């Protein structure tokens, strides 16, 4: 177990609260990136900025080891009006660190500071700070900007706090840990007309209703009941009709979640087949749009094993669940895991009044007590991977 100097624990708390006080969203995290870059540079860590617009990478080499590891934190906040009243509450109106990315950045800074001083590894550690996790674009933007070509990163690791799990407990599993998130929009064009003479037109409400029932068969009849867990939900049904007018158009919108890219592809394909078949039978036309925002987060086996060993050493064996149930929430670290092996874990933020408030809630706050656990996990992992 890493014993952190109390000065470093105090400093991490200060950094965390500073970032919490000045939250920034999406790709507009310039002040946060400035703050992080300034800290890393002050410890002699080389910093490359402007990757994926405002993402940054800190590079710390030690010894002659050729191996490398990427440790990733996210920097962005949410468009939420904070309802807390403590001193470090948001001073940026309508923006708030309600997902704990302030804590993720502070934990990784703590680990960077420790590793820069103690050099307890042989190889290269890349500290990756990404923008825009919440909209699912930041990780991909950094990848598109050459993250894995410009930096020789063998494997990547990510960590997120989890309210409701006791402080310092750790959850992970090999394979699918978190779901994909996709949205769809189906526009059905019929022929509108007088509500008293439906036979003169093509009623898109009837067609759309059949489509919605057809979509229910994707999970129940097209996916493997044992292997392919998924959710397909139609959540909006919009028409341009009125009380005595059959509409000419219906728009159906909805949301899908699943745990593998195979399932994701199968859902999209079946969805369009169902829409096309029903519309053709009715004489309606359609437009179909399927937008994938988050891929499923899939941990590679070997790296998950390394994460479990590090978490066990840093947090204690009783605190670690190495085969937790998957979550239907999503995470854009998934984009990095599509390119590189790696593992994503969840760190307990605490229960009830101390860290138990749900993510994305206006009363949420990252629990400063777990900064040392997160930083301890990072330092241990880096030391183990780069022996
Ligand atoms: Zn979030
Ligand atoms: Zn988050």
Q: What is the pLDDT of residues 68-121, one digit of tens each?
A: 999 999 999 999 999 999 999 999 999 999 999 999 999 999 999 999 999 999
Q: Does the pLDDT of residue 13 top 90, yes or no?
A: yes
Same domain, 32 and 149: yes
**Residue 26 Cα to ligand 1 middle (Å):** 11
Given this model, what pLDDT does residue 2 score? 86
Given this model, what pLDDT does residue 362 score? 98
Q: 101-118 vs 371-385: helix axis angle to the nearest 10? A: 50
Both tokens of residue 83? 């309802």
Mapped to the 3 state alphabet, what secondary structure does 188-249 carry?
A: EECECEECCCHHHCECHHHHHHHHHHHHHHHHHHHCCCCCCCEEEEEEEEEECCECCEECCE
**Residue 33 Cα to ligand 2 middle (Å):** 17
In whole angstroms, give the CA distance from residue 33 to residue 38. 8
133 is annotated as an active-site residue: yes
Nearest ligand, measured from the Cα of 359? 1
Query: Residue 1 falls within a domain, yes or no?
Result: no
Would you say 256 is a known binding-site residue? Answer: no
> What SS3 class is residue 321?
strand
Same domain, 163 and 186: no
Of 261, 294, 327, the residue that ends a domain is 294
Nearest ligand, measured from the Cα of 100? 2
Same domain, 185 and 168: no
Same domain, 144 and 204: no
Which residue in 339, 359, 363, 338 sits closest to 349, CA to CA?
A: 359
**CATH number of the domain that residue 188 is part of:** 3.30.70.360
Range of the domain at 53: 6-178+296-385
Same domain, 288 and 309: no
**Residue 214 Cα to ligand 2 middle (Å):** 34
Which residue in 186, 130, 161, 79 sits closest to 370, CA to CA?
A: 161
Both tokens of residue 239? 């028409």
Would you say 360 is a known binding-site residue? Answer: yes
In this structure, how many other beta carbons lie within 10 angstroms of the beta carbon of residue 328?
Answer: 14
**CATH number of the domain that residue 41 is part of:** 3.40.630.10
Of 294, 325, 354, the residue that ends a domain is 294
Same domain, 239 and 317: no
Secondary structure (DSSP) of 252-302: EEEEEEESSHHHHHHHHHHHHHHHHHHHHHHT-EEEEEEEEEE--EEE-HH
Same domain, 368 and 311: yes
Are 263 and 228 in contact by the 8 Å Cβ rule? The answer is: yes
In whole angstroms, give the CA distance from residue 259 to residue 71. 23
Q: How many domains does the chain have?
A: 2
In whole angstroms, give the CA distance from residue 219 to residue 276. 18
Q: What is the pLDDT of residues 231-264, one digit of tens each?
A: 999 999 999 999 999 999 999 999 999 999 999 9
Query: Residue 207 falls within a domain, yes or no?
Result: yes
């Amino acid at each position: 177990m890493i014993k952190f100097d109390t000065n470093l624990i105090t400093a991490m708390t200060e950094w965390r609260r500073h970032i919490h006080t000045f939250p920034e969203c999406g790709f507009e995290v310039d002040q946060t990136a400035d703050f992080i870059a300034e800290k890393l540079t002050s410890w002699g860590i080389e910093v490359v900025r402007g990757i994926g617009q405002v993402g940054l990478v800190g590079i710390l080499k030690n010894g002659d080891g050729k191996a490398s590891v990427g440790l990733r934190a996210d920097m962005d906040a949410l468009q939420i009006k904070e309802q807390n009243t403590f001193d470090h509450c948001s001073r940026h109106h309508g923006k708030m660190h309600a997902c704990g990315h302030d804590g993720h950045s502070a934990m990784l800074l703590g680990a960077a500071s420790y590793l820069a001083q103690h050099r307890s590894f042989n190889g290269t550690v890349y500290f990756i700070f990404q923008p825009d996790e919440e909209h699912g674009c930041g990780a991909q933007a950094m990848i598109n900007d050459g993250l894995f070509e410009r930096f020789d990163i063998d494997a990547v690791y990510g960590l997120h706090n989890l309210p409701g799990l006791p402080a310092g407990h750790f959850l992970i599993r090999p394979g699918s840990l978190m779901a994909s998130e996709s949205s769809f929009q189906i526009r059905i064009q019929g022929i509108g007309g007088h509500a008293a003479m439906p036979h003169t037109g093509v009623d898109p409400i009837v067609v759309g209703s059949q489509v919605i029932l057809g979509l229910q068969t994707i999970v129940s009849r097209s996916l493997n009941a044992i292997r392919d867990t998924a959710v397909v939900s139609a959540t909006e049904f919009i028409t341009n009709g009125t009380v005595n007018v059959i509409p000419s158009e219906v728009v159906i919108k909805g949301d899908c979640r699943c745990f593998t890219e195979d399932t994701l592809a199968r859902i999209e394909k079946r969805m369009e087949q169902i829409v096309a078949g029903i519309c053709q039978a009715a004489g309606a036309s359609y437009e179909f749009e399927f937008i994938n925002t988050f891929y499923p987060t899939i941990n590679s086996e070997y790296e998950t094993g390394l994460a479990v060993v590090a978490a066990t050493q840093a947090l204690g064996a009783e605190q670690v669940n190495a085969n937790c149930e998957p979550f239907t929430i999503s995470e854009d670290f998934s984009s990095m895991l599509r390119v590189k092996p790696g593992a994503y874990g969840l760190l307990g933020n605490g229960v009830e009044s101390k860290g138990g408030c749900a993510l994305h809630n206006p009363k949420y706050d990252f629990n400063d007590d777990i900064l040392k656990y997160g930083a301890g996990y990072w330092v241990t992992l880096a030391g183990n991977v780069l022996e």
